[in-house]
């Protein structure tokens, strides 16, 4: 009771926001009961409440059905059987309610909703400078699928990360996928000799304005080429692209705004995004690629000269 009075006082002073579906914007939109639809790991979620209640169901079909429900309807599907062994489920995989893996699952789900649902994202960012609370939420992790601390902690962490991304200008940057083989004059030299100096310079410059990923297509049976590419990326430039290497047998799953490759590239017919062919008439070298991308995306002149 005393805590609720403190929260109300902090709200009155503009320092806090108590999330509740019956309150006015933005508190109502941030509620898990609000119909903030999103898709998480291939499953359509009609609300965050639908996702959370679905975690209590082991059966994948029933779980998927509850996920698609709006908030108030999903809440009626709540069960308490999971409390006995503290095991919840997602897509057939068990999770210990008290484990770090479960916390990561929650964070990924909220991040998916944040990135996909503009209404939710705008509501959260409208709370800048305020401490988020949920006075009606349960605080015992053994009795609830999501405590007040977990809920508000995840939201405030996403809010902070978004602000940081905005300050450095990384949120919403276009994505460029680069066929790793085109960094060498001859594909047989990949991983064995240093890459072309112009290609390396271009990657460093593009990284300042875009999200850049290296992509390599290697058949499953050919394990050595996978290892060669991974070893080179880890060693190259201090491992800058260590977490930006995509090794795949299905290039159609790679999504980007631009795809840079050469005539022999295995990705030509399978990728999404605008194709930029190194060695073609329009792009005879990396300098032409840089000039085109900068002009198309309005990059500042000082970035071009770095």
Q: What pLDDT is stored for residue 188 in this prediction?
A: 66
Per-residue pLDDT band at 91 (split at 50, 70, 90): very high
Q: Give the per-residue pLDDT at 147.
A: 96
203-223 pLDDT, tens digit per residue, is: 888 988 888 888 877 665 544
Closest to 291 in 3D by CA, of 303, 273, 279 = 303
Higher pLDDT, 177 or 238: 177
Q: Which of 53-57, 182-186, 189-193, 233-237 has the highest mean pLDDT?
A: 53-57
In the chain, the DSSP E strands lie at: 16-18, 38-40, 43-45, 87-90, 93-96, 131-133, 175-179, 211-217, 245-248, 258-262, 274-278
Measure the CA–CA gap between 45 and 33, rounded to whole angstroms: 12
Structural domains of the chain in order of their starting residue, each with its CATH number: 2-168 (1.10.357.40), 175-304 (3.40.50.1000)
pLDDT for the residue numbered 248: 75
Mean pLDDT of the chain: 83
Over the stretch 36-50, which tens digit does the pLDDT of each residue have?
999 988 899 999 999
Give per-residue pLDDT as tens, 127-167: 999 999 999 989 999 999 999 999 999 999 999 878 766 55
Q: What is the pLDDT of residue 302?
A: 43
Lowest mean pLDDT among 31-40, 93-102, 226-235: 226-235
Lowest-confidence segment of 19-23, 74-78, 88-92, 104-108 by average pLDDT:
104-108
- Distance set, CA 223 to CA 218, 219, 220, 236 (Å): 8, 8, 7, 20
pLDDT: which is higher, 266 or 77: 77
The answer to whether the predicted template modeling score (pTM) of the entire model surpasses 0.85 is no
pLDDT per residue as tens digits for the range 267-293: 554 556 778 888 887 788 899 999 888
What pLDDT sits at residue 54?
97
Rounded to whole angstroms, the Cα distance separating 229 from 190 reads 7
What percent of the chain stands above pLDDT 70?
78
Which residues, in sequence order, are CB contacts of 244 under 8 Å at separation 6+?
212, 213, 214, 233
How confident is the model at residue 301, as a pLDDT? 43
């Amino acid at each position: 009771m005393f805590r609720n009075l403190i929260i109300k006082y902090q709200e009155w002073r503009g320092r806090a926001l108590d999330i509740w579906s019956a309150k006015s914007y933005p508190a109502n939109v941030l509620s898990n009961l609000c119909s903030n639809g999103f898709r998480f790991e291939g499953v359509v979620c009609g609300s965050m409440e639908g996702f959370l209640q679905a975690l209590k169901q082991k059966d994948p079909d029933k779980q998927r059905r509850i996920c698609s429900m709006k908030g108030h309807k999903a809440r009626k599907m709540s069960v308490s059987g999971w409390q006995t062994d503290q095991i919840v489920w997602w897509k057939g995989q068990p999770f210990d309610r008290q484990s770090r893996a479960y916390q990561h699952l929650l964070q990924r789900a909220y991040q998916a909703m944040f990135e996909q649902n503009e209404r939710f994202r705008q509501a959260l960012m409208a709370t800048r400078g305020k401490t988020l609370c949920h006075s009606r939420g349960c605080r015992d992790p053994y009795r609830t699928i999501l405590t007040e601390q977990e809920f508000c902690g995840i939201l405030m962490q996403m809010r902070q990360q978004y602000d940081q991304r905005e300050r450095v200008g990384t949120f919403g940057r276009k994505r460029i996928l680069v066929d790793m083989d085109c960094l060498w004059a001859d594909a047989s030299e990949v991983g064995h000799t240093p890459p072309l100096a112009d290609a390396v310079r271009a990657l460093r410059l593009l990284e300042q304005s875009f999200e850049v990923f290296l992509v390599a297509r290697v058949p499953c049976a050919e394990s050595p080429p996978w290892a060669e590419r991974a070893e080179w990326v880890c060693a190259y430039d201090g491992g800058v692209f260590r977490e930006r290497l995509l090794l795949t047998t299905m290039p159609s799953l790679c999504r980007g705004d631009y795809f840079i490759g050469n005539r022999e590239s295995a990705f030509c017919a399978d990728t999404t995004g605008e194709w930029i062919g190194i060695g073609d008439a329009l792009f005879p070298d990396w300098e032409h690629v840089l000039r085109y991308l900068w002009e198309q995306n309005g990059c500042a002149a000082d970035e071009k000269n770095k």
